[in-house]
Amino acid sequence: MTPLPDPPDDYERQIARWREARDRRLRSPDGWLTLVDRVVLEEGDNALPPGTFTIRGEEARFRARPGAAVTLAGQLLPAEGPGAERVLRPDEGGPAETLWYEGRAYELFRRGDLHAVRVKDPEAPARHAFRGLDHYPVDRRWRIVARFDRFDPPRHTMHAYEIGGSWRRQVPGVARFELPGDGRELSLEPVLEEGSNRLFFVFGDLTNATETYPAGRFLYAEPVLDFNTAFNPPCAFTAYATCPVTPPQNRLPIAIPAGERRYADRTAV
């Protein structure tokens, strides 16, 4: 492991600001804590409270239920006549279109051949019960410069999800690093985040057994591996999220006591 030369004097404050921003995103009216349901859609018609989602192969259409005040981008959708049925854009390659009905958001998402709808409620109990995150102490030793070996040409993987389905993602290379006093070379393979050049790592380590989320954690890096910013996937906070499965090659045989610890719903009493 090669530490960064001359870490910034305000490094701890930088991490504190990163964590504060992370906390704000989780608490936001459309954050992961607002998820209250997840509905897997079958081929054909699927009746949900705002209307009917119709799946035909790769295409998803929606028609509002008669009498239901459903809005999309602030516009009321007609239940009959021209424009009543419309094709919905899922979240692959960009943000999903969001339908609003009776104070709840309905977002279409797709993972391979699987279509589903996530339901968000700004008044969700999980959002109101949220009392913050638990972290390991900031440790500069876990801010690592890795050697990034690019694949030429880039490879691809099918990112599997715990809900089922998969998403074809580009794997641009592999990050290799060592720990001090340990001659083993470790490696992690990222995927390229949709619509950006950020490297996105889904990884596991030995802390998953007791101290961090059992399925693994997430990390963005470009190209520094700063495990102080490792964070829990949405599935750590709600059973209704959909998260990628940690690939076997990204399960490290070491403990990484840095970043977010396992989440506990610490409700105020």
Q: Rounded to an integer, what distance in angstroms lies between the CA atom of residue 156 and that of residue 186?
A: 21
pLDDT at 48: 98
**Residue type at position 263:** Y
Q: Rounded to an integer, what distance in angstroms lies between the CA atom of residue 102 and that of residue 74?
A: 13
15-20 LR contacts (CB < 8 Å, sep 24+): 15/138, 15/228, 15/229, 16/138, 18/229, 19/133, 19/135
Say which residue the tokens 């279509």 belong to: 115
Q: Which two tokens stand for residue 151?
A: 């694949």
Q: What is the pLDDT of residues 147-157, one digit of tens each?
A: 999 999 999 99
Q: Rounded to an integer, what distance in angstroms lies between the CA atom of residue 8 and that of residue 17?
A: 14
Enumerate domains of the chain plus CATH numbers. Answer: 2-28+131-250 (no CATH), 32-121 (2.60.200)
Say which residue the tokens 């709600």 belong to: 238
3-state secondary structure of 222: coil
Q: Looking only at Cα atoms, what is the longest distance across the chain? A: 71
Is the alpha carbon torsion for 114, 239, 203, 28 positive or negative? positive
Q: DSSP for 147-198, please give it.
A: EEEEEEEEEEEEEEBTTS-EEEEEEEEEEEEE-TT---EEEE--EEPTTS--
Give the rounded distance of the alpha carbon of 119 from its chain centre: 16
Q: Rounded to an integer, what distance in angstroms lies between the CA atom of residue 8 and that of residue 188?
A: 25
pLDDT at 133: 96
- Residues 6 or more apart whose Cβ sits within 8 Å of residue 156: 168, 169, 170, 171
Neighbours of 166 (CB within 10 A): 16
Q: What is the pLDDT of residues 51-64, one digit of tens each?
A: 999 999 999 999 99
* pTM listed for this prediction: 0.89
Q: Name the stretches of the chain with pLDDT < 50.
A: 1-6, 266-269
Say which residue the tokens 């960064």 belong to: 4
Burial class (CB in 10 A: 0-12, 13-18, 19+), 15: buried
pLDDT at 80: 87
For residues 174 and 249, the answer to whether their CB atoms sit within 8 Å is no
Burial class (CB in 10 A: 0-12, 13-18, 19+), 187: middle
Q: What angle do CA 2, 212, 172 make, to 5 degrees?
A: 50
Neighbours of 33 (CB within 10 A): 24
pLDDT at 93: 60
3-state secondary structure of 80: coil
Q: Which two tokens stand for residue 89?
A: 């854009």
